[in-house]
Each structure stands twice: as structure tokens, then as C-alpha cells.
Amino acid sequence: MEHIKRILSYTRRALDDYEMIREGDKIAVGVSAGKDSLTLLCAMAELRRFYPVPFELCAVTVDMGFSEGMDFSPIQKLCDELNVPYHITHTEIAKIIFDVRKEKSPCSLCAKMRRGALHRAAKELGCNTVALGHHFDDAVETFMLNLFFEGRLGCFSPVTYLSRMDLRMIRPMIYLPEKDVRYFSSRAALPVIKSPCPADGNTQREEMKQLLARLDREHNGLRYRIFGAMQRGEIDGFKVVDGMQGIKAYDETAYDESTQEE
């Protein structure tokens, strides 16, 4: 697939640094139909061809059950092209959150329920690992959200073991900046499906994303310095590898977003 070299470079580095894949792993990629998870799916499908540690792959989508429904056939077509088995697990999460409970701040509960559905589906499919599409910017935003709104230093971990489910969660895109995900998604014409969630784009995370974007423009490299602090502080399993701090040294050839639109 064209334009994937850079994606593979960042992804493989994270897989190696955190020993995310073990021989014989069967990995379920959580596919939400957004740009991040579809990019991860493409990267993992390509890496499967030459990565030195052999692994199996499948894709899993949790259907939230919104009344208008979602057409996942474009995702099925992509999976067929990538030779990745695709599974949809149907739920009533949307009904429970918005109609039954009428949650005013639905994101936390929704995420918890989606994770539960994804984990159960992965186990039913015989998978021992779930791969999630969180990228570099997600990590920085999560760290800052925890600091601002919970008063604690924390983030999701690059690798997590869920003992109750006997399931590992890996995040192979933690070094990959979101701008590169956008670039690849656009160039590869990935079949991104917009979320029908009424809370989409109106969350604390979106506020933090905008705040960090503004601060980064005023203080160039701020996000990389925050990520470097997470590594040096070994926050929730992050670590400095081979002297790489904040991945800035690894990003010297980053795309200039002003030149990406053609």
C-alpha cells in the first residue's frame, strides 16, 4: 500500500521497544471505522508479512447500535483486500447510554462498555491480544486530561495485561503523530465512517486537543517535551529507549502539514 512507509517505521519501533508481540499471538485490531483504527489495521496487516515475530490478525468492530445504523461494508471490503478476517459485534450501548440512562457526560461509561464488548469478542475469536489505535497525540492529551481534571499523573499504558480476561492490550501507534495518521488516511483513501454519536467533537478531550494545538504553536515542540517527561518519569509503563526522549529525534523528517494538501 502506498504512503505506508512512515506509518510502519513508527509502528515497528513501538512494537520493538515495548515487545508488544510474542510469537504465536492472535491479535484483534479494534476497528471503530475512524482514521486511527483503520491506519493501525493497515499497518498491522502490512507488518504481518515481514515482522520477525509471526502473528495472526483479525479485525473487530463494536456496533454501538445507533438507531440510524452504520454501513460497515466499506470496512469489510478493506479487510478483504488486506486478507484480514472481519467481525462485527452488535450491542445496544447507544440505547443504554442515551435512552435508558440519559447520561449527560457519556464518554467514560461509553468507553468502558465498548472496551468490555471488544474484549469479550476478542476472547470469543480466540485472540490473546487486542491492538488499539491510540497515537502519540492521544497519549499527550490523556496525560494532560488526567492532570487537569483528576489532579493525577497518569496515562494509558503502551502494554496492559488484563488478568481477569487473560488478555493483553497493545498500542502500536504511540510514537505516531496524528498529522501523519491524517496524511496517510487521506492519501490511502481509507473508508472512514463518521461517528453518529451526538457527543462526538463536544468533549473535554476535544477542548484539550485545541488547547494543546494553540500552546504548541506558541511554544514549538511542547507536545514532544510533555511526551518526553512521560517517558523519563516512566508514567504507566512509558520509558526512554536508546536515549530517545519525546520522540523529537525520531520526528525530524515529520511532514509539514502546510504542504500536505494537494
The model's pTM is 0.90
As a whole number of angstroms, the distance between CA 260 and CA 39 comes to 17
Quick one: pLDDT at residue 1?
60
75-133, pLDDT tens digit by residue? 999 999 999 999 999 988 888 887 777 677 777 888 889 999 999 999 999 999 999 99
Spatial contact of 96 and 68, defined as CB atoms under 8 Å apart = no
145-172, pLDDT tens digit by residue? 999 999 999 999 999 999 999 999 999 9
State the pLDDT confidence band at 2, using cuts at 50, 70 and 90: low
Q: In terms of pLDDT, which residue wins out, 231 or 66?
A: 231
Q: Which residue has the cell 470469543?
A: 124
State the pLDDT confidence band at 30, using cuts at 50, 70 and 90: very high
How far apart, in Å, are the Cα atoms of 90 and each of 78, 103, 106, 121, 175?
A: 20, 21, 19, 10, 32
Three-state DSSP state, 76 = helix
